[in-house]
A and B are shown apart, each in its own frame.
Chain A
């Protein structure tokens, strides 16, 4: 059985318009407002989501996104087409949002800083208590294995599950939050994500794995609370 690649869903912020970037950029250089409007429609929601990871309000996120567009327009000549336009815009908005977020950080609660420090530590994907220890019969085997979720598709698309997902993402350390938002929420490839965040492939995968593991654990806790008999 070959590994099934995680396939991004149909919703979200993603776009599939290969080859269209160059044409749109040429139209921008000619000053065509329609081309800009199209780009805003296509990438605006994605950029807003990325900005919101680092700044505390929608109003600030919208300012960061506007600054991003202006920086991109003024830097069109620096866009080399080696990455996609979307990846390039993502790296600009993230730089601006991180900087803006640092300015706001003076007033952020202690828990934020604690999460930031936790990022570098060795974090197991699953609580070690759920596995048998060296004293048991089969060390490293499940002691408390996960149980299949009942009707997962239905339950995972509920408003309640979406709230759990968004909260779990918000709780992640910043780099993990960026990687899971780019890869799994917005559907960027591993290569695009490495490009936008200037990460090595290995680092990207470690951050993504930690992030996904925590989000899965949050869903598991949520479903267990909903259905304690299982």
Chain B
């Protein structure tokens, strides 16, 4: 009976709340509506899965590299900074 008092969440509304949901920043009432919607909606389940997969893939991009020359230039800059400071 009480369920009819909770406004249904539409798919179009749900896709705007995914980041808040995954961050645990969604108010409890909206979490309930969202999860209730997910139970009956293949499209939105696929959508959230794809968002999770996208986030995971972004986290697995290979790191930038630092060239040996850049590293040596930095060590040289550090030595100059240190010597300057000590000379004062």
A residues adjacent to B (C-beta < 8 A): 1, 3-13, 31, 33, 36-37, 40-41, 44-46, 48-49, 52, 62, 65-66, 69-70, 73-74, 124-126, 128, 131, 139-142, 145-149, 152-153, 156-157, 161-162, 165-166, 180, 184-185, 187, 190, 201, 205, 208-209, 212-213, 215-216, 219-220
Q: How far, in angstroms, from A3 to B48 measured CA to CA in the complex? A: 11
Q: How far, in angstroms, from A212 to B42 measured CA to CA in the complex? A: 20
Contact between B81 and A45, CB atoms less than 8 A apart: no
Give the one of B61, B65, B67 with max A CB within 10 A. Answer: B61
Contact between B19 and A209, CB atoms less than 8 A apart: yes
Which of the residues A45, A74, A156, A165 comes within 8 Å of B65, measured between beta carbons? A45
Q: How far, in angstroms, from A13 to B65 measured CA to CA in the complex? A: 10
Contact between B60 and A11, CB atoms less than 8 A apart: yes
Contact between B74 and A4, CB atoms less than 8 A apart: no
Q: How far, in angstroms, from A11 to B65 measured CA to CA in the complex? A: 13
Contacts A6-B23, A40-B71 known; A12 to B53 CB distance under 8 Å?
A: no
Question: How many residues does chain B have at the interface if contact means C-beta atoms less than 8 Å apart?
Answer: 54
Query: What is the chain A residue whose CB lies nearest that of B53?
Result: A152
Q: How many A-B residue pairs have CB under 8 A?
A: 181
Q: List 25 A-B contacts (CB under 8 A).
A: A3-B22, A6-B23, A7-B56, A12-B61, A31-B82, A33-B75, A49-B63, A49-B64, A66-B73, A69-B77, A73-B81, A125-B18, A140-B10, A140-B11, A141-B11, A141-B12, A142-B44, A145-B47, A162-B62, A185-B59, A205-B20, A209-B18, A212-B18, A216-B54, A219-B54
A52: chain B residues at CB < 8 Å are 64
Contact between A9 and B65, CB atoms less than 8 A apart: no
B29 at interface (Cβ–Cβ under 8 A)?
no
Query: What is the chain B residue whose CB lies nearest that of A187?
Result: B59
Q: How far, in angstroms, from A62 to B64 measured CA to CA in the complex? A: 12
Give the one of B11, B58, B62 with max A CB within 10 A. Answer: B58
Which of the residues B13, B31, B54, B64 comes within 8 Å of A212, measured between beta carbons? B54
Contact between B50 and A185, CB atoms less than 8 A apart: no
A220: chain B residues at CB < 8 Å are 50
Give the one of A11, A142, A148 with max B CB within 10 A. Answer: A142
Q: How far is the CB of A24 from chain B (nearest CB, A)?
A: 13
Query: What is the chain A residue whose CB lies nearest that of B63?
Result: A45
B27 at interface (Cβ–Cβ under 8 A)?
no
Q: How far, in angstroms, from A6 to B47 measured CA to CA in the complex? A: 15
Query: What is the chain B residue whose CB lies nearest that of A223?
Result: B50
